[in-house]
Homo-oligomer: A and B are copies of this chain.
Amino acid sequence: MLILRDLPSDAEMRGLATRYRDLDPEAIATFLAFIRASCEVFHAAESHFTRHGTSCGRFTVLALLNREPELARSPSQIASSCGVTRATITGLLDGLEADGLIGRVRGTADRRTLQVRLTAKGRRFLDGMLPDHFRRLSTLMGSLDADERTVLRRIAGKIADNSHALTDPPTPRPR
């Protein structure tokens, strides 16, 4: 994923604000700071997963199955929870099954569906990496005090709820 390492300087931002009348420098700077932090975390997480011999996608599926390990999920449910297409899940499950971390069995009630579960090997794998994973997340969030964490959760919720602003039908230019 592309990561914006260089944010525009204040001078560059001022120059852009004179060229584009609808540019709100405060809003853009806040957005870019947020995106930059996201990108840094994604990149770091990717390295972290690579060191544990897995990938972000594979880990997400395993972690989801590990929430309630006794509960099987269909590929469609997994795709919906993970926010990816069924095609992506098929590929991820192929790899995870080949490594023996998950198992797929045909559904008995509806024979179109599959039942996906962590195998014992899959649970051992997660139990081996999750303690380190959780410690790292605690360290990452450790720079925020209790207030900041509360505020961040509220702000993140607002941003997620407003992300449709980027995809809504275009609004006319205000005058």
Contact = CB atoms under 8 A, between A and B. Distances in A.
Which one of A151, A152, A165, A166 has the highest number of Cβ atoms from chain B below 10 Å of its Cβ? A166
Task: Decide if the interface of chain A is mainly helix, strand, loop or mixed.
Answer: helix
Given A23-B134, A131-B22, A132-B170, A40 B160 contact: yes
Number of copies: 2
Contact of A153 (B30, B160, B167): B30
A155 B143 CA distance: 9
Interface of A: 1-6, 8, 12, 15-16, 20-24, 26-31, 33-45, 47-48, 51, 56-57, 60, 64, 66-68, 80-84, 88, 130-132, 134-144, 148-149, 151-168, 170-171, 173-174
